[in-house]
A and B are shown apart, each in its own frame.
Chain A
Amino acid sequence: MTFFLNDSIPEAIGLTETLARLPLETEYGRLAKEALKPFSREEALQLEESWREIGLYLEADMANPDLLKSLRQHLHGLPNLRKSLLLAARGDRLTDIELFEIKKQAFATERIRKVLQHNRKLLVSSVELAPVQWLINLLDPEGTGIETFYVYDCYDDELKHIRQEKNRLEEGLRRQTKLQEQQAVEVTGIQPLWNGEFLIPATHIEIIHRLESLGTYEKTGETGGEWIYRQRRLPEAEQTETLLMREDEAENRVRQRLSERIGEALEPLMANTFALAQMDLLLGKVVLARRYRSCCPALTDEAAICITGGRHPVLEEALRRQRRQPTAVDIEMSRGVTVITGANMGGKTMTLKMTALLTTLAQMGFWVPADHFAFQPVDWLYFSTGDQQSQSMGLSTFGAEIYALKEVLQRTHESGLLLLDELASGTNPLEGTCISRAIVAHLSQSEAISVVTTHYDGVGDLPGVRHLQVLGLNRATLQKLKHQVQETGWSSGLFEAAMDYRLQPREPGVPVPKDAIAVASLMGLQPDILEAAQRWLCLHQEATVENPVNGEREESE
């Protein structure tokens, strides 16, 4: 069963971006990251274990900051050898480069094992490595400790013998060539070229004759007025070809033998690659936990999500780059619906994204950027931004939202997390309000945890619905802001600085704050438009008192 009910969710909630910040040293780690998926509720033990591992590593890092750094260095750049291992197990002959990589990785593995042996706290089960000293011995037969690879002479007596013979032969050939060259120099009185060739003027017949009479040189060409003489191939040279072939065969026998030994140990060696992957991932999680000042999540008995001081790491970084102070959010939610209302630009969307992201991260075994985070793992997660469009299906914003929602509502009998931003805002406010109320009423009876943000009145006042409101801008701050804007003009960040992003439970009956016009005024929309908008608002409020369509009657007072 898929966890994300829509493929675009990881991107939309900032998970993709957060995971992109996960530092990894190996191909194994990157593969493990790609394969990351949330644990299910039944896997609570494994989940708690992965949080505990992060805690242990963080502790060790506090005590000795170089420790994890050294582990990362040992891991750095290890290539993916799984394919080679499988080939070896299948009986294929590995190449020198594959054997070289396996040797290098064996050295790295032993180094990591040593670090873990000396720091037993770090020796958690997911990163347990099988010993590979035998593999090092196999690929470093001379025990030099040097991490290069060669089909060493000592692997095979015959190989050693062939090479000795080959070298002896080549030495002999070289000597003989030199000797014949000296003879040629003596009879011709001419020095050879760098490549051993003699250039003899065609007119010097007697020199040519003397050289040819040696029987060791033959004419291979002419250049201008000169003849080119090259040494005849020595009969012994044929033997090198044979020796080279025999050397080839002997080397391949060695490679085959080494490959077989490696193939026999497929299981522990393959398991080691997965342990290395887990170690890489774990070290990455530790870095993220530190960077985002994260907390270890806790499990609740009931379906709930309780966040204290929750932060969205991607937003947080963006704000810091603009030298602005990010705000942490507290929010609690449980089975049924939580409705969030409040000022425009009050961070409602970010609260939804933060909730989705932290829940996913925690459920993937990460610590989360919050002061405190407790939850029960969910079976699925849905997040809708309310402004999605499905161009491929030719649907408008509203169409796409409803289409997706129809699918999601079929799963609300399971425990899931449903986050709807600006529900039904893509259609007319009257029907939008009615549809929102109906959906919220339906969700309030479901097993899932739902959070809905809306600007519509009365949605949060339905029975059994928790209603939270962004504190936003109160009248005093609005006035202050107005003065500030009048004096220094509008600047980005001004607004955010005045905004109170905290959420607080809202008493039923108080109308949804109407500050869109005030905000638009601050941002400098033309005054005549603002005045007209204000007049329309008053007219509308009077009309709804006389002719109540929905629950606005009591609110408009």
Chain B
Amino acid sequence: MNLWSLIPDELKTVAVIGMAKNAGKTVVLNRLITEAAQENRLLGLTSIGRDGELEDLVTGTEKPGILVEPGTLLATTDLCLRRSDARVEILETTREKTPVGQVVLVRVRQRGWVELAGPDTNRGIRRVCRQMLRYGARQVLVDGALNRKTSASPAIADGGILATGAVLSRDLREAVAETAHQVQVLETPLWQPQVPPVHLTQARMAGMEALLPEESGVGLVHADGAIEALPFATALSQGKEIGRLMKPSHQGVLIRGSLTNRTVRDLVDTTPLYRDMPLVLEDATRLFISRQEARLWQKQGLQLQVLRPIRLLFLTVNPWSPGGWRFQSTDFCRQMREAVQTVPVVNVMGREGLA
């Protein structure tokens, strides 16, 4: 099967994110690129924030990661281009600086291997994606950095693909459970209040800044849709305070920035009102809650919702771990499908496509 059949054409930028190193993200990318070439689908490619991989890139001697066909558009750095053997036409320089050089927009003229290192800010990524689409890309793939689900943020991509694999744990059930938790986090539901605040429509595009003043990191939504901005820059270590200020008449708590275990624990310990109104985040990449705690609080009735949902397209599994163990792939896929029922599960290393 062709993976592109799982990606609607109207999604212009799609991020591929990995749950861990060696979860098979590069395999997924290469497969998407190969299959796009087979049907003459012109792609734009870039990646976000390399941090962890930086060392490999500068000192590594291995062949760079991705094979690209003529016509493909790339946003990568001058240093990466020097290491690649594809021949490219320089279209644009971006002044976007990264630790591995300046990001440039190029069109591949002679096929070959390239390394991707795009802008490391959301804004930079958005800009290069827009440009590559303008230069004729039908869709843009963003290679999300390791362990950085921010690249799936709706602020960057229209859709996301999650790569997971045996590398997560030697215990198959553990790997499945951890993945299922991550999917659940990414699919945190949309906030749809009874009486919406005035600027909710704008906030679906621009995020929390449309609802909260710059200096405030937390807001209470009153029954009439009015928003009361609280004098905290973030919700971090303010769980108790927020809990004290919540009233039964409120219809939600807006949280700009990250929500962590500690904040939720403090809040839940302070007031039972968390059962009656959702905690609303900008998007699911702001949620940093461990699996055990999430399960506990879900049972207790904690509601987490987002302004901007992430559109998760499918999940890829890699039954191989570089640690030496591997799972029986049909078994791994079957259990994964049982645990994750909202999106298709694809074995990147295997023949079988969909269930």
Contacts and interface: CB of A to CB of B under 8 A. Distances in A.
Contact of A150 (B34, B89, B328, B351): B89
Contacts of A79: 93, 95
B93 A244 contact: no
Nearest to B89: A150
A150 B88 contact: yes
A100 B87 CA distance: 14
A195 B78 contact: no
A100 B90 contact: yes
Nearest to A193: B351
Given A150-B109, A199-B350, A194 B35 contact: yes
Interface in B53-95: 78, 81-82, 85, 87-93, 95
Interface in B88-147: 88-93, 95, 102, 104, 107, 109-112
Given A163-B110, A223-B326, A149 B90 contact: yes
Given A97-B78, A150-B88, A191-B351, A170 B111 contact: yes
B110 A166 contact: yes
Contacts of B112: 244
Nearest to A244: B85
Given A163-B110, A199-B350, A150 B90 contact: yes
Nearest to A149: B90
B179 to A, nearest CB: 19
A224 B88 contact: no
A150 B111 CA distance: 14
B75 to A, nearest CB: 13
Given A149-B90, A150-B88, A224 B330 contact: yes
A185 to B, nearest CB: 13
Nearest to A241: B85
A194 B31 contact: yes
Contacts of A485: none
B87 A247 contact: yes
Contacts of B159: none
Nearest to B349: A223
B81 to A, nearest CB: 8
A194 B326 contact: no
Interface of A: 79, 95-97, 100-101, 148-151, 163, 166-167, 170, 191, 193-195, 199, 223-225, 244, 247, 251
Interface of B: 3, 30-31, 34-35, 78, 81-82, 85, 87-93, 95, 102, 104, 107, 109-112, 319-320, 326, 328-330, 349-351
Given A224-B319, A244-B85, A244-B112, 14 more contacts: A79-B95, A95-B82, A96-B90, A97-B90, A101-B93, A148-B91, A149-B90, A150-B109, A170-B111, A195-B30, A223-B320, A223-B326, A224-B326, A247-B110
28 contacts: A95-B78, A96-B81, A97-B78, A97-B90, A101-B93, A148-B89, A148-B90, A148-B107, A149-B90, A150-B87, A150-B90, A151-B87, A191-B351, A193-B350, A193-B351, A194-B31, A194-B34, A194-B35, A195-B34, A223-B320, A223-B329, A223-B349, A223-B350, A224-B326, A224-B328, A244-B112, A247-B110, A251-B87
